[in-house]
Amino acid sequence: MQWFEPYPLYISIMAFFILFLSIVLLKKPNNFVRILLSVILILSSLFMISTAIELYIDDFNGMQWLRNIQQIALFLCPVFLFGFAREIAEPNAEKSIKYMTYLGVPSVIGVILLFTNPIHHWMRSSVTTQTVWGLTEISITPTALGIIFISYLLFLTLLAVFTFIRNMHDLPSHLRTSHLLSSIAILLPLLSLCLLSSLSVKIPGQIALSFSMMSVLLIFIFKRYDFNSIWPVSRNKILESLDEGILLFGPKYNLLEINQAGYQLLKRWMPHLQENIIIGQRLDQLFTDRRIMEGVYQHISTSFEWKIELGDEDVYLQVNIVPIGYYGRDIMLVVLTDITEKKLIENRLYTLAHYDSLTNICNRHSFIEKYNAMMENKEISVSFLLMDIDHFKQFNDQYGHIVGDQVLKEFAVALTEFFMSAKYFSIVGRIGGEEFGVLLRKDAGQAGEQANLFQQKLTEHSIFVNGEQQEKITVSIGLTTTYEPISFEKMYKEADKALYQAKRAGRDRVEMINA
């Protein structure tokens, strides 16, 4: 036979090409997926090289030994294909290695039995040669035990395909193509055997040819679709560039991964936490919030705001919990975003929108909102006290607007201290200028008593003007009470009439009109 037979030469060239790519994949940076693919390619190239040499030589014993070497790749390749599929579907090198070890035991036993077959003849009932296309190769008839081992290899191959197909459920539609093509690549040796057998077509080194197609397709898929290939290089840069705290918890709820932002957030309520021992900490050692515990333990997606009180400081975090992996059963992602500044801005905007900037009590808009909310309860009586500081213009004219503002502030403080500490629920607000309002859940008689007590309280209160001179504050009050829901405009109109009567009657008094 000539040494430059085209077909064995093609198998040899493809084998060395695939072997070269397998070595390239092992260059740093690498990850477990790349290592598994590299081993699969090495086994494939080993199978192809030994097949090409088998087709080249004519020595029967040498051909038998080459066929046994092929069986090493044939028996072990499905084990690594399953590990490759599982690691892409669920990155967990420790667990993948454990499964591969268990599944690889029968394959190793099968290889040992093949190499010792001349002694016991358990795997092969006959070994002959056949010539196809002018090339001689070994032809083997397996025993029943041999068929069982072959069936086991088929089972591992289909298990790898099933792993890819099952994981497609958790993927976006644009990423499912990679899993579908990977499944087809793994099935190529089986498909080629079934197809060619049905067509009664014989090709020398048929499995080696299908291995070359499988290997090339897997390399293409990995380079075209595998986003994990950039992960070893960019993982740290990606995680550390994020302002959000990223935490990954494993199946036993131990911390697997955390970025620097997450570590700094944890240190805010655990100042003695050391960075070199944080990995491996249990969930309940890092968090006490019930919602975080439930989200992670129950493997549910959830999002909420978490307020942490740290002495005189409040920290607000947005917590997002997302299950990842096989149907969300294994790894839990916890994302912590510091929204303290945002909450402070929101609180400030809320304060500006709902509270009077001078007196820090409800403004007119907020006061009306609270009144409307109170009116939704039809079973209570509501009294509205409309107050006006007596002779307020004189304070402005005599002492200036700065003193006038001081009068408004001190009056608001006195109003709040008296009514907000009352027995029944009350709302205090600045309606406008020197006009203030109080809402009480009381009937007319009780509200009138409260109004008179407040006026008496004011007589005990003096304002220091320019640091020395004392001035007294008096207030006229118009009171109206309703026992059924009415609009604020109508309520205000009746209270304003009563206030006008109080002013005409000499001020510093309470007048009442029922709405």
Q: One of 137, 434, 494, 511 is an active-site residue; which one?
A: 434
For residue 254, the 8-state DSSP code is B
Q: Which helix (H) or strand (E) holds 333?
A: strand 331-338
C-alpha torsion angle, residues 331, 173, 35, 114 (rounded to 10) = 100
Closest-CA residue to 56 (of 140, 141, 134) = 134
Q: Which helix (H) or strand (E) holds 262?
A: helix 260-269
Asked about 257 being catalytic, the answer comes back as no
Task: Give residue for tokens 């027995």.
Answer: 423
HSE (CB half, 13 Å, CA atoms) of 495? 29
For residue 362, the 8-state DSSP code is B
For residue 389, give every residue at least 6 positions away whose Cβ sits within 8 Å of its Cβ, in sequence order, or none: 407, 408, 411, 434, 436, 473, 474, 475
Closest-CA residue to 489 (of 349, 406, 386, 337) = 386
- Sign for the CA dihedral angle at 149, 150, 155, 157 comes to positive
C-alpha span between 215 and 226 (Å, rounded): 15
C-alpha span between 14 and 305 (Å, rounded): 58
3-state secondary structure at position 442: coil
Query: Distance between the two ends of the chain, CA-based, in angstroms?
Result: 117
Catalytic machinery residues: 434
